[in-house]
A and B are shown apart, each in its own frame.
Chain A
Amino acid sequence: MPVEIKTGWADSVTREECAVISLRHVTREYAGRAAPVRALDDATFTIVAGEWVAITGPSGSGKSTLVNLIGCLDRPTAGTVKIDNVDTNAMTPSELDRFRADKIGFIFQQFHLIPYLSAIENVMLAQYFHSMTDEAEARAALERVGLGARLTHLPSELSGGEQQRVCIARALINNPPILLADEPTGNLDAANQTIVADLLKGLHRQGHTIVMVTHDPEMAALAQRKIALAHGTVFCHPVGGPVVTLRR
Chain B
Amino acid sequence: MSEDSHLESPFSAASGPPPPATVTFSRILRRSLVHRRARSLSALTALTVSAAVATALLTLYADLDAKLHHTFRSFGANIVLTAPSDAGFGAQPIARVEQAVGTVGHQEVLVAPFSYAVATTESGRPVVVAGADFDAVRRLDDWWQVDAWPPAWFAAQAPAVPPPAPALVGQRAAQFLGDAHNVTLTFAGHTIPLQIAGHLRTGGDEDSRVYIPMAAFTRWTGLSATVLEVQVPGSAARVEATVASLQHEFPGARVEPIRQLVEGESRIIDRTHALMYAAVLLIALTVGVSVLATLSASILERRRDFALMKALGGSHRHLMALFLVEALVIALAGVVTGFVIGSAAAFAISELNFHTATLPYVSVIPIILLLNVAIAAAAAFFPARVLRSLQPAALLRGD
Contact = CB atoms under 8 A, between A and B. Distances in A.
B9 A154 contact: yes
Interface stretch (B144-152, B202-210, B309-317): B309-317
A157 B398 contact: no
A117 B23 contact: yes
Interface stretch (A9-17, A66-74, A203-211, A223-231): A66-74
A114 B311 contact: no
Contacts of A153: 5, 9
A109 interface: yes
B21 to A, nearest CB: 5
A127 B394 contact: no
Contacts of A135: 20-22
Contacts of A64: 393-394, 397, 399
B397 A124 contact: no
Contacts of A170: 312
Interface in B303-333: 304-305, 307-318
Given A112-B304, A129-B313, A156 B7 contact: yes
Given A154-B7, A163-B1, A121 B21 contact: yes
Given A94-B315, A116-B31, A153-B5, A133 B305 contact: no
B7 A157 contact: yes
B308 A114 contact: yes
A159 B397 contact: no
Nearest to B394: A64
A97 interface: yes
Nearest to A153: B9
A116 B311 contact: no
Interface string A95-135: 00110111000101110101111101100111111100101
A97 B6 contact: no
Nearest to A120: B21
Interface string B1-40: 1110111111100000010111110001001101100000
Nearest to A183: B397
B15 to A, nearest CB: 10
B375 to A, nearest CB: 26
Contacts of A130: 312-313
Interface in A11-31: none
Contact of A101 (B10, B34, B312): B312
Contact of A97 (B8, B10, B307, B313): B313
Contacts of B7: 154, 156-157
Interface in B180-214: none
Given A73-B310, A154-B7, A159 B1 contact: yes
Contact of A182 (B3, B20, B396): B396
B137 to A, nearest CB: 72
A64 B310 CA distance: 16
A93 interface: yes
Contacts of B1: 158-161, 163, 187-188
B311 A100 contact: yes
Interface string A141-163: 00000000001111011111101
Contact of B23 (A71, A74, A128): A128
A125 B31 contact: no
Contacts of B10: 118, 152, 154
Contacts of A156: 5-7
Contact of A152 (B9, B313, B315, B316): B9
B392 interface: yes
A146 B312 CA distance: 22
B22 A129 contact: no
Interface in A148-196: 151-154, 156-161, 163, 170, 182-183, 187-188
Interface of B: 1-3, 5-11, 18, 20-24, 28, 31-32, 34-35, 304-305, 307-318, 391-394, 396-399
8 contacts: A98-B313, A108-B308, A108-B396, A115-B35, A118-B11, A124-B22, A130-B313, A188-B1
* Closest 4 pairs between A and B when the two form their complex, measured CB to CB: A101-B313, A160-B1, A116-B35, A152-B11
Interface of A: 64-65, 67-68, 71, 73-74, 93-94, 97-98, 100-102, 106, 108-110, 112, 114-118, 120-121, 124-130, 133, 135, 138, 151-154, 156-161, 163, 170, 182-183, 187-188
Given A116-B35, A159-B3, A182-B397, 18 more contacts: A67-B393, A68-B392, A74-B393, A94-B317, A106-B312, A109-B398, A110-B396, A112-B307, A114-B305, A124-B23, A125-B23, A129-B313, A133-B22, A152-B9, A152-B21, A157-B6, A157-B9, A170-B312
